[in-house]
Each structure stands twice: as C-alpha cells, then as structure tokens.
Structure 1
Amino acid sequence: MLSVKKILLLGANGQLGTDVQDVFSPFKQYEIINVYRNQLDVEKDNITDFLTSVGDFDILINCTSYHKTDECEDFPAKSFAINSLAVWEIAKFCNAHNKVLFHITTDYIFDGKSRQPYLEDDCPNPLNVYGTSKLSGEHFIKAYHDKYFIFRVSSLFGKAGASGKGGNFVETMINLGNQGKTIRVIDDQVMSPTHTLDIAKAIHTFIDQDVDSYGVYHCSGEGECSWHGFAEEIFTQLNMDVDLIPVPHTSYQTKANRPLFSVLDNSKLNELHQMPNWRDSLTAYLIQKGYLS
C-alpha cells in the first residue's frame, strides 16, 4: 500500500506556492494541503491554533513572505511580524510536533560587498528591513527547530507572478518592450535570476529522496547577470528589437538599499539536486507562458 506524505503548503497562491502544487500534483504519494491567506494570515492570526486545527501532516513548506522591499522600510513591524515572528511560531510548532520545515528566504541577507558568489556560511549583513527581517526568521528556525531546510533564493520569476507586485521582472520587461519605449535598466546590481519552478523541483527532490542533511541551502539559478543583462537576454530570446539602456542603480531613488552583488553559490545544493542555468530556466519559462514554442 502506498504511503502518503501530507505536505502543508503555506502561501499556496504565490509564485513559488503555485509551482510547488504543479510539481507535486502528479505524484499520488503526496497530499498537498493548500493554505491561502484568507485561511491563515500569518501577520494577525494565531498560527499555533491554526496548525493544530489542520490535523496530522508530515512536512510544512512555508512560502509566506512580506517581500515588497521598499514598502518594508515603511512598515518594519509588519515585516518582522510576517518574516520573523510568524516563522518563530511555525518553527516552535514544527519542533514540538516533529514536522520537517522547509522555509524560503533571500539573497538580500548579504551586503553585496563580496565579489565571489556567497556560500551558506558567509557572514550575513543585510542592508534593509526586508533582509534583516528574513535573517531574523532564519535565526528563529535555527534556535527553535532541528529538522529544517532553509532555502535562500534570488530574483524570482514564475508563471503566477509575485503577489502584490503585479507580475514579475520578465513580464514587466515584455510589457514595456511591446510599448516601444526606451527602457532603462540597472546594470550594476548583479544577482542570479531564479525560476520558481526550479525551486519547487529542488524541494521535491529533497522530500522524494528523504534528505536529512538539515540546514541552509542556496537555491538560485546557476550563473549571474545584472538586471540589464537579464532584460537583454529576455529580449534576445524573444527576438524583440528594444531600445535598452544600461544605467547605474543611483539613477533610481529607492527607499531600501540593495546589495550590488548577491549571487549565491549553489554547490551544496547541487550535490543533491542540480540547479539549471538561469538562461535555460528563462527559456523554459517563456515556453511555459506561450511566448516561445
């Protein structure tokens, strides 16, 4: 008889949550219990009561996050409520009930002063409220739970679009490109674009293979580029003729400081699950969305 693993998915309607559902749904040995914000608002609701009411499950995947980086500067209490204190509650519950926890965090815990891709044990030094609140959440998990996987990710794009952001960078560039306007994109912030489908596949591998090497893993697209380089590749793959101009980050005044270099080294993760190059993932995304055949 097939043993079914029950997976509780918080933030099921986001970019990553949507792709987690798609990756796991073909497999009958998994039962995904989707949790949406109207069921559990981690900022305001009693998380322990909700998790208790769910009944039995084996694994919790936490895709909830307050990730509007500039807005976080204006609402630090909300940032810490969602990205730190809620995570603390989740970690305590999972530890008390022997549940494996997958938690998603960010490359923005680093200050960008390195010029080598960041390793998991490199010293964090976030530059903004968002990164600080996400790092605090990491600390809570490490302090209160043993069976956890923290996946640090970078510059996400997925078919569902980012909740509250009106899409993602790829869709924004395509929309602007179709308007025929000159597009100015930052060329001195370097990162690793990451397809949320690839993160979902990595999570599936960890669960499917019963990985028990708990800890922090970097999980991003292989390779690196600037935002301008990312935009350039989008237009190249779509064969769009666009007036694309590189500009320094100082051209845009933002409330939150961002690291100029936040490339993640996936070597640790790649021993268990190989992440694809970001260009190949972009191609897969464009095919998935019907832009390429």
Structure 2
Amino acid sequence: MFEEAQYFAPVTRDEHGAVTVELAQSHPGFADPVYRERRNTIAHLALTHQRGEPIPEAHYTAEEQEVWRIVSAELKAKHETYACREYLDAKDRLRLPADRVPQLEEVSGLLEPLTGYRYLPAAGLVPLRDFYGSLADDYFYSTQYIRHHSVPFYTPEPDVIHEVMGHANALASDRFAALYRVAGQAARRVETTEALEFVSKVFWFTLEFGVLHEAGELRAYGAGILSSYGEIEEFRHMDIHPLDVREMGSTVYDITAYQRLLFAADSLDHLEDVAGTFWDTCTDDSIAALT
C-alpha cells in the first residue's frame, strides 16, 4: 500500500533512540515544527510496538480530527457513486467513525470479528516481504499519522486515511479479505526478488488500484482509488485494459501521480478467478515464465 512512496519520508533513529521522520521540502508539513514533532512521536509509537501487544494510541489534534471529518464526508458521497457493491456492503459492516480518527487498535476490534484481520502500526517503509507476508497471517501494516491540515484532500504519502478508509473497509469483506490473504501467501511462497515484485504489482493494480464492471458501469474496489478525493473522480477516464496477470505484473507505475493505466475485471467473480488463482498457485518458475 504505497509502501514504495514512503522513501519520501524515511524514518531514522539515532544512537540515543530519538526518531526522526525526514520530510521533503515539498511536503505540506515541512515548515510546520509542531506537525514534524508529532510525526516523530507517532513513528516512535510504531517502532516500540511488539506484535501481540495493544497498539499505542496516537493523540490527534483538533485540526487532524477535522481533516478526518472533512474527508470522510466527501468520500461517503463519492463511494455511493463510484465504489462497487461489495465494498459498500463491507463499509456498512465495519462502520468506521466519521467524526474522528479511529485508533488502529479500535479498527482491529471492529475488523477481527468480521474477517479475522488486525492492524499493525508502521513507522514508515515496510519491506515488501514483511508487508505482504503479514497479510497471510491476517495482519495489515498501517501508518498512524494523518496528512497536514492545510491540504485535507492531498497527501504525498500513505496516511491513516488511506490505510483505514481505503483498506479497512475492503478488509471487512470476506471476499476481499480472502484475496488479501492469498496475496500474502503468494509473497510468502516465492523466493526471488523478481517474483515478489511481480506479486506486488498484481496487488497494486488490483487491491490498490483495481476497477471492475458492475451494473453497466465501471466501479472501483481498489483502496488507492477509494481513499483519494481526486483520483476517484478521474479513474473512469483513464486507459482501461482488460484484467491480465502478465501485463499487470510487468507494468511499471508512477507512485507520485494518478494511475493512468488501470485493469478492469468483468466482475468480482472474474477478479477472484484471475488474480486469486494467480496468487493461489504462483511459484518462482511460473512467474518467470510470464516475464
């Protein structure tokens, strides 16, 4: 989930244990010392967390809570127009709060009884094998920080809005959760870096930026589209290709811009048949044969 994008904000820890999130000069929060200190504090929470322990709470400011409320309200209307039915039904099952940022431990408490998934806090970059491999164990790595309040509809990196509004709603669906899980099993199974990257690209063009045909319209199910105020309005105008594992796994994408090339499934059944079967059966040899 945008994990490559996080190189824009690498996280470092000095010999004294102090954590620093390095924001680029173009980042909206670069010149805001309060925001930068909060980013450091939130990153430290993730670095000190041990799997199996309750996730430490991130204390959000009034401005950050307002960002969540604004984006949640705007996306609610857009989801009704653009999201596929399976996602909308899962969103109704999960019932995330719209008036405040939920804590990751709270999201886990809502999600686990539905599909078994729980969240893990991420300070920054999560290596591909760790991130995808954890999906096989019903864990999803997520950042806890929220975008800068000056630009509520923009973030140069994956924040808690993307990770929760986008992914948690999908993970509340039994069918989507099964696809996340089998993608994780594939990442666990393959051994070469090339095969792992192929698996991750198929994930990118489906569970991050996937679209499908439903009731005569193109609808989105990918978390990257459904958590983006701008991209959700644009995806129907992109270059739409049929769902194809070979092409998805071989396509280079730009993480800093709207995705201009998307792959459409004929239905959710079709997505499960194509992507699900690929993840369920792929090996290093079978992927090598596709490249």
> Which structure features the higher share of helix residues?
2
Query: RCO greater where, 1 or 2, for CA within 8 Å and sep 6 or more?
Result: 1
TM-score by length of 2: 0.29
> Which structure features the higher share of strand residues?
1
